[in-house]
Amino acid sequence: MFKQLFAVSWMSLSTLPQRLGSSSVIVIGIAGVVAVLVSVLAMATGFRHTVADSGRPDRVIVLRGGSDAELNSNLTREEIDIIGNAPGLAKDAAGKALLSDELLTVVNVPKIATGSDSNITLRGVGLQLLKVRPELTIVEGRMFRPAVRELIAGAGAAKQFRGLKVGSVLHLRNAEWTVTGVFSTDGDIHESELLADVDTVGSAIGRSTGYSSAVGLLTGADAFDRFKDALTTDPQLKVDVEREPEYYAAQSKQLTHFINIVGNTVALIMAIGAMFGALNTMYTAVDARGLEIATLRAIGFGAAPILLSVMIEALALSFLGGVLGGTLAWLFFNGHSVSTLGGAFAQVVFKLTVTRTLLIEGVLWACAIGVLGGLFPALRAARLPVAQALRAA
Amino acid sequence: MKYLPLIWASLWRKKLRTIFTLMSIVIAFLLYGVLQTVNHAFENPGTGVSGADKLITTNRFSLTLLLPFSFKQQIRSVPGVAEVTWITWFGAYYQESKNFVFALPIDTDTYFNLHKDEFIVSADQMTAFRNARAGALVNVALMKKFGWRIGDKLPLHSTIWTNKADGSLNWTFDIVGTFDAKDPTQATQQASTVLFHYELFDEGRSFGKGQVGWYEERIDDPAQSAVVSARIDALFANSPNETKTQPAKDFAIAFIKQLGDVGFVLRAILGAVFFTLLFLTGNTMMQSVRERIPELAVLKTLGFTDGKVLGLVIGESLLLCVSAAIAGLALSYAVMPIVALGLSGIDLSHGAQPLGVGVAVLLALIVGLPPAVRAMRLNVVDALMDKR
């Protein structure tokens, strides 16, 4: 049985070059499906990596209760001070809590590629910034100074938006701000932002009394409950406390979900189309080999090896298509930097990320199309009435 | 036309193959219809915004920064401005954050004067709205969605504005009437809109008093929109609240452009779909002509000219592609309401379906021409001798 299977499969695969034209229909059809699937899902993956992987479990974000997002939130100086005294926060050598009082606004900056105005987050940050976010490094230029109109730009934002190079001057609300540096935060969402001193931002946008959020570093991830309980039971406060990863995962959920649905739907529809192509090709292949198959049957080959050999041919071709499509998507799109409007009215810069899981998923889709497209032609081959087929030749 | 039966017969020479090819073209054009319509909506988002005579004035520095209420007087006095009204982003939802409600605090007189004849509101309900301090006019679609009735209390949660009364983010309105937009595309865009009084909002909020989100203007002459915009912006130049005034349509376009390379992604997918399809259909046509070489030779022997044979093969390709394309486009038209659900607020009424037929003709010519030329050049004697 296996000997027969091997012999028949080898025979059909070795004659593939003679059917190059029609066989390539399967390969190219499926490559198209997989390339589209992998590229679109790479977008969702990249966005999720950038947004949902922002932050660390021992860092918390405090918002006014019911605000959902930083941009909507509003905290007073007094509230920030109460938060700073809560138990569980890490302290620096001088005994000051590692808490950054932050103020968010979005500013209009033109996108390099299109020249059209885009909303960029300008985040005012407190003096403890570097201790609260130790992953932040200046990759070019220098840090901004407090109390003067200076800002630093995230590496992602600097690449996508105009006028964010070190030394450029940005006109923001009737005043000139100098970009003194470009920073990196290991590719998370903050690389799409501009950072400056919180009080300078506050006075510039005329909101010197309020803040958006407070971001604090805990003594450890397990200090979260203590910190949260202290704040939520305080009658003077009405705040929401979340670990950063949870906050950012919630922020990215909607868009990631949406892209995934779109990607899978389009790929499914394309896959049905490709399956019809595969059916066509395999029926043609079976027809072309009618005499050969009938002869094999006549000299004692079983129906099963014939059936399997057709399936193997379909699978081999679709596997090839899957690999080709995945490779194309990887070559053209992996690392491709794009930006879109994220959850909070502001641009998020992220890179399309073709992961190994995505490639495997693509190849699995390809094989599924191959199996479905090969099954019926294989059945026909196996059921071929031998005498009739021999006579027809 | 008299050759139609002949073309028809040759098309169905191999039933299964034709059906499969038809199906894959149907699917490609289903995708084409859906993606092109979405693409069109993203590239021309302004089509649902009423009229070219509307301008929007926002804070030049940032969309999230408010503008002083006092600007209304100055804007009103600008030559060319017929009416001005002011609106603020309220960021509301009903019960759960996924139930987004586009609640807008409006100044009743100026708002309805600016959007004259654009809304359907009964006179009774309009009077009731004017007389009820906490009254709200709710879009008919939204009423149906949540099963609200006139007379109901409507509790909304604002993610931004704290209510002075109890320091919470909860606001309660009385539903006194419903409204709908006359224009069908506007009606879909406003499907989650609730209108309530600016006075209640301004008195009730615990901060930001006397400040509004943006101004909307109606101008006398749409051709003057650039001039009027410049006049408005000049009023506030070099002040802490510089403004940016632009046609409402441009504002919508700029906002949707911010979604980024949606168009690029859609075009890339369509490119992949059509390249794949071209290859597949082209191959089928080639194959079918190859198999029929002796038959074509017989036709030529019977006196069919080269041109006629060429026409027959191209006709076959046209029939296949165009009929399948029409089926696919019709299907895409049918699924559009489902797509619209996922993209609420985006106007999908301008279908790309008619253009799709043109694309199908082009496709038919590209895949039909090589085999047709081959059929035309056929040497009768050779072809008849070759038993294939």
**Which residues of chain A does B261 touch, with a Cβ-Cβ cutoff of 8 Å?**
338, 340
Does B162 contact chain A (CB < 8 Å)?
yes
Contact A39 B342 (CB under 8 A): no
What is the interface pTM, i.e. ipTM, of the complex?
0.74
In order of A44, A247, A304, B119, B269, the CA distances from A360 in angstroms are 16, 30, 29, 53, 20
Q: What mean pLDDT comes out for the span B177-192?
A: 83
Q: Name the 3-class secondary structure at A179.
A: strand
Is residue B173 predicted with pLDDT exceeding 90?
yes
pLDDT band at A293 (very low <50, low <70, confident <90, very high): confident
pLDDT at B190: 82
Q: What mean pLDDT comes out for the span B255-272?
A: 75
| Domain residue ranges in chain B | 4-46+260-385, 50-257
Does B31 contact chain A (CB < 8 Å)?
yes
**Which residues of chain B does A274 touch, with a Cβ-Cβ cutoff of 8 Å?**
24, 276
- The predicted-structure confidence for B197-240, as pLDDT tens digits, reads as follows 999 999 999 888 899 999 999 999 988 989 999 999 999 988 88
Q: What mean pLDDT comes out for the span A132-145?
A: 94
- The predicted-structure confidence for A241-253, as pLDDT tens digits, reads as follows 999 999 988 888 8
Quick one: which of B240, B243, B44, B260 has its CA closest to A119?
B260
**Closest B-chain CA to A343:** B259
**Which residues of chain A does B28 touch, with a Cβ-Cβ cutoff of 8 Å?**
273
B222 Cβ contact partners less than 8 Å away, ≥ 6 residues apart: B51, B52, B53
pLDDT band at B261 (very low <50, low <70, confident <90, very high): low
pLDDT band at A292 (very low <50, low <70, confident <90, very high): confident
Report the sign of the C-alpha dihedral through residues A49, A52, A58, A63, in that order: positive
Does A212 contact chain B (CB < 8 Å)?
no
H or E stretch covering B68: strand B67-68
The two counts, helices (H) then strands (E), for chain B are 15, 13
For residue A245, what are its two tokens? 């990863």
Q: Provide the mean pLDDT of chain A.
A: 88
Contact B17 A280 (CB under 8 A): yes
Across the A:B interface, residue pairs with CB atoms under 8 Å apart total: 153
Q: B234-238: long-range contacts (C-beta < 8 A, 24 or more apart)?
A: B235/B71, B235/B74, B235/B75, B235/B78, B236/B71, B236/B74, B238/A174
Alpha helices in chain A (DSSP H): 2-14, 20-52, 77-84, 129-132, 155-160, 198-204, 224-232, 244-288, 290-298, 303-333, 356-383, 386-392
Q: Is the distance from CB of A203 to CB of A175 less than 8 angstroms?
A: no
Does B301 contact chain A (CB < 8 Å)?
no
Q: Provide the mean pLDDT of chain B.
A: 86
Q: What mean pLDDT comes out for the span A208-221?
A: 88
pLDDT at B60: 85
Report the sign of the C-alpha dihedral through residues B61, B62, B68, B70, in that order: positive
- The predicted-structure confidence for A260-270, as pLDDT tens digits, reads as follows 888 888 888 88
Contact A33 B284 (CB under 8 A): no
B271 Cβ contact partners less than 8 Å away, ≥ 6 residues apart: none
Is residue B64 predicted with pLDDT exceeding 50?
yes
Residue of B242, B283, B286 with shortest CB distance to A174: B242
Does B237 contact chain A (CB < 8 Å)?
no
H or E stretch covering B348: none
- In angstroms, the first-to-last Cα distance of chain A is 27
Does A106 contact chain B (CB < 8 Å)?
yes
Residue of A24, A105, A118 with shortest CB distance to B65: A105
pLDDT at A240: 93
Is residue B47 predicted with pLDDT exceeding 60?
no
Does B24 contact chain A (CB < 8 Å)?
yes
Does A65 contact chain B (CB < 8 Å)?
yes
Q: Hey, which residues 180-209 in chain A have their CB within 8 Å of chain B? A: 205-206
CA distance B376 to B312: 10
- The predicted-structure confidence for A341-374, as pLDDT tens digits, reads as follows 776 678 888 888 999 999 999 999 999 999 999 9
In order of A89, A218, A221, A229, A234, the CA distances from A225 in angstroms are 11, 11, 9, 6, 14
**Which residues of chain B does A339 touch, with a Cβ-Cβ cutoff of 8 Å?**
260
B282 Cβ contact partners less than 8 Å away, ≥ 6 residues apart: B366, B367, B370
Q: Hey, which residues 142-181 in chain A have their CB within 8 Å of chain B? A: 172-174
Q: B362: how many CB neighbours lie within 10 A of its CB?
A: 12
pLDDT at B388: 44
Contact B286 A21 (CB under 8 A): yes
**Closest A-chain CA to B25:** A273
- Residue B173's Cβ-side half-sphere holds a number of Cα atoms within 13 Å equal to 27
**Which residues of chain B does A393 touch, with a Cβ-Cβ cutoff of 8 Å?**
none
Does A41 contact chain B (CB < 8 Å)?
no
Q: A238-241: long-range contacts (C-beta < 8 A, 24 or more apart)?
A: A238/A64, A238/A65, A238/B167, A238/B168, A239/A62, A239/A63, A239/A64, A239/A65, A239/A75, A239/A79, A239/A83, A240/A62, A240/A63, A240/A64, A240/A65, A240/A66, A240/A67, A241/A60, A241/A61, A241/A62
Report the sign of the C-alpha dihedral through residues A99, A100, A101, A104, in that order: negative
Does A12 contact chain B (CB < 8 Å)?
no
pLDDT at B346: 60
CA distance A185 to A224: 23
| Domain residue ranges in chain A | 2-52+251-392, 66-237
